[in-house]
Amino acid sequence: MEREEEKKNRQLQERRGISFDHRAELYESEQFEAIVKHDTRPNQQILVMRTRRMKNIFELDEEEQQIENEIDQYVPADAQTEATVRRIAQESRKRKNVNIRISEQDLSRIRERASREGVPYQTLMASVLHKYVTDQLYDERQIRRTLELIESSNRG
């Protein structure tokens, strides 16, 4: 039976003509043009890779195509930012394996969620844990309740 990660890697290869491993190699080559803020994910940045020579390897999605079209407008990262990004990238490669026990139901839900988001389930779990320990994980229900209270207090 095909493992979830292998399945996602194969799907990415089929849809885009590039595997996760190949993307990781491109990322690890540290050849990027600029760093830009992600429009819809404020806690993320986009590394604009040198893709001009690789354009035909895979089809760009709308956001990637927009970056490609506007590449000449981006300002290269200054030396300090580039050094910081390289340091963070290097530190992020340092991984430790951990074993945890969770319910089958939770694991099933995690796998379903990861599948919908197009990431391996271990990556999703690591992301959630990272967001939790860096105070970036928010309870959407609590935020909605707070906004409702603010709105109701503004009305009355």
**CB-based contact 36:67 (threshold 8 Å):** yes
Q: 61 and 112 share a domain?
A: no
3 state SS of 47? strand
Of the candidates 39, 51, 48, 54, which has an alpha carbon nearest to the alpha carbon of residue 77? 48
Residue 48 β-bridge partners: 34
Q: How many domains does the chain have?
A: 2
Q: 69 and 6 share a domain?
A: yes
Q: 35 and 11 share a domain?
A: yes
Max Cα distance, the chain (Å):
60
Q: What is the pLDDT of residue 23?
A: 67
Q: What is the pLDDT of residue 91?
A: 81
Q: Per-residue confidence of the chain (156 residues) as pLDDT tens digits?
A: 567 777 777 777 777 666 767 666 666 666 556 667 767 767 766 666 554 444 444 567 788 788 878 877 877 888 898 889 888 888 877 778 889 999 999 999 999 999 988 889 998 999 899 888 888 888 888 888 888 888 888 886
Q: 57 and 107 share a domain?
A: no
Domain of residue 112, residue span: 101-156
